[in-house]
Amino acid sequence: MRKIISLICLLLPITLFADELKLQENAPDRYVVVKGDTLWDISAKFFKDPWKWPQIWGFNKDTIKDPHWIYPGNVVYLDASTHTLKVSEAGPGTDVTSAGSEIPAVAESGQAVSDIVKLHPRARQVTGKGEAIPLISLKDIGPFLSRPLVIEDNELDNAPVLAGTYEHRVLIATGDIAYAKDMPSNKGERWQVYRPDRTFKDPDTGEILGHEVVYLGDAVVEKFDTLSTLRISRAVLEIAPGDRFAQATTGFASNYQPRAPEKQISAKVISIYGGLQQAGQNAVVTLNKGSRDGLENGHVLALYQRGDRLPSGSVFAADTRLPDMRYGLLFVFRVFDKVSYALVMQTQLPVQLLDRASTPD
């Protein structure tokens, strides 16, 4: 019994240490928030696991739904006792610089004095709800949130189709009048125009996962009929007869809470947006897993490169393969039934097709 208790006491610190957040080697003691920062970026300055957001900020993940409370000018402190981050407003004698550093109050002699506050004229920073920093930057994913991206077979077959124009134009632009068949009158007047581009297939099973589409523009129905009359309100690419319509989206939540999936998920990169063969940081990739597999908006997945097969002349057997190497992180921001779109948040290597994306260890 004493041996068992001794073994438990020996393993307990190891278990606790394994659950601790890992600090960056050059983690600062404090950081002043500047415009353009995100919670992900700030977390990554202090910790190696920025997706463990609730733990980093000392909150219960189930109680934080809209974590917009940090503003430019706030000071983020690293609490050495709890290994969590705390926030306070910048106080008198603290200048906020573009680099996010602090300049302490300075006496006339030029030496720093802790109990002397020297005021300098500067623009006052007034915070407001609209200025709060987001969890992640939306500049890279914004265009993907409000446009049709993936259409399944049944949606494609039943989608309204652009039949043509009064002038029999081959190409249609902004302001032109066009006609569409099978346009339902109970789904509103605003529609988006798209064209099927490529078909996604699961690399392991061969299952058709959906059809990626090209967004062409927007249209407004002026009269519903057997052939509905509509006006092209915006054309970003040339629109032609045979193109299809999807109901205009009403927008998606801009606040995502980064977190690891609660269950083990193993996906593959099946496409890099833009038809590329490799991707770097801030690129958008498509995964062969979706909501039916348990993926949700905000999930963070680790990227792995497949381990090399050792040559037959090595000390190991000819078929020995090295373990997969983890080299980056993905942030899932839009989930469909069978596929998902993710943003490359961190990477040490180029992301390649068929690389594995799994629940972080």
43 and 127, same domain (yes or no): yes
- Report how far residue 217's alpha carbon sits from residue 237's, in angstroms, rounded to the nearest whole number: 7
What is the per-residue pLDDT across 104-116, written as a single tens digit (0 to 9) for each?
444 444 444 444 4
pLDDT 10s digits, 180-220: 999 999 999 999 999 999 999 999 999 999 999 999 999 99
pLDDT of residue 314: 57
d(CA 183, CA 223): 10
Nearest to 237 by CA among 176, 191, 175, 174: 174
Domain C-terminal end among 100, 131, 162:
131
The domain in which residue 91 lies consists of 23-131
Q: Is the pLDDT of residue 9 over 60?
A: no
Half-sphere exposure of 53 (CA within 13 A, CB side): 25
Choosing from 131, 162, 197, the residue where a domain stops is 131
Task: Say how many CA atoms lie within 13 Å of 109 toward its Cβ.
Answer: 4
**In a shared domain, residues 105 and 158:** no
The whole-number pLDDT of residue 244 equals 96
SS3 of residue 10 by DSSP: helix
Say if residue 74 is in the same domain as residue 151: no
Q: Is residue 3 part of a domain?
A: no
Residue 49 reports pLDDT greater than 60? yes
Number of domains the chain is built from: 3
The per-residue pLDDT for range 12-38, each reduced to its tens digit, is 333 333 356 889 988 999 999 998 888
pLDDT per position as a tens digit, 132-173: 788 788 788 888 888 889 998 888 889 999 999 877 888 899
Of 192, 215, 247, which residue constitutes the final position of a domain? 247
- Statement to judge: residues 154 and 227 lie in one domain: yes
Based on the fold, state whether residues 125 and 220 are members of the same structural domain.
no
Report yes or no: 160 and 245 within 8 Å, Cβ to Cβ: yes
Verify that 272 and 326 share a domain, yes or no.
Answer: yes
Residue 258 in any domain: the answer is: no
Report which of residues 356 and 60 the model is more confident about: 356
SS3 at position 12:
helix
The mean pLDDT value of the chain amounts to: 80
Greatest mean pLDDT range, 64-73, 143-152, 196-205, 317-326: 196-205
Confidence of residue 83 (pLDDT cuts 50, 70, 90): confident
Q: Is the dihedral of CA 42, 48, 53, 55 positive or negative?
A: negative
CA distance 267 to 278: 17
* 252 falls within a domain: no
Question: On the CB side of 233, how many CA atoms lie within 13 Å of its CA?
Answer: 12
- Are residue 174 and residue 216 in the same domain, yes or no? yes
Residues 279-308: pLDDT tens digits? 999 999 999 999 999 999 999 999 999 887
Compute the distance between CA of residue 224 and CA of residue 76 in angstroms, rounded to an integer. 56
Claim to verify: residue 165 and residue 222 sit in the same structural domain: yes
CA atoms of 21 and 137, how far apart (whole Å): 23
- In sequence order, the 6+-apart residues with CB closer than 8 A to the CB of 47 are 21, 22, 23, 24, 27, 56
Query: Within a domain: residue 7?
Result: no
CATH code where residue 286 lies:
2.40.10.410
Same domain, 294 and 330: yes
Tell me the C-alpha distance between 333 and 339, whole Å: 11
The CA distances from residue 175 to 2, 90, 139, 166, 262, in Å, are 84, 51, 28, 13, 48
pTM of the model: 0.76
Is 254 domain-assigned? no
Point out the least confidently predicted range of 35-44, 135-144, 244-253: 244-253
Question: Is 256 among the domain residues?
Answer: no
In a domain, 10, yes or no: no
**336-352: pLDDT as tens digits:** 999 999 999 999 999 99
The answer on 109 and 57 residing in a single domain is yes
Helix (H, G, I), strand (E, B) or coil at 129: helix
C-beta separation of 326 from 302 below 8 A: yes
253 inside domain: no
Closest alpha carbon to 355 in 292, 299, 303: 303
H or E element at residue 304: strand 300-305
Same domain, 46 and 127: yes
- Contact predicate 165/178, CB 8 Å: yes
Query: For residue 269, what are the CA distances in angstroms to 146, 286, 335?
Result: 22, 6, 14
In this predicted structure, the answer to whether residue 90 has a pLDDT above a threshold of 70 is no
Contact between 169 and 240 under an 8 Å Cβ cutoff? The reply is: no
275 and 333 part of one domain: yes
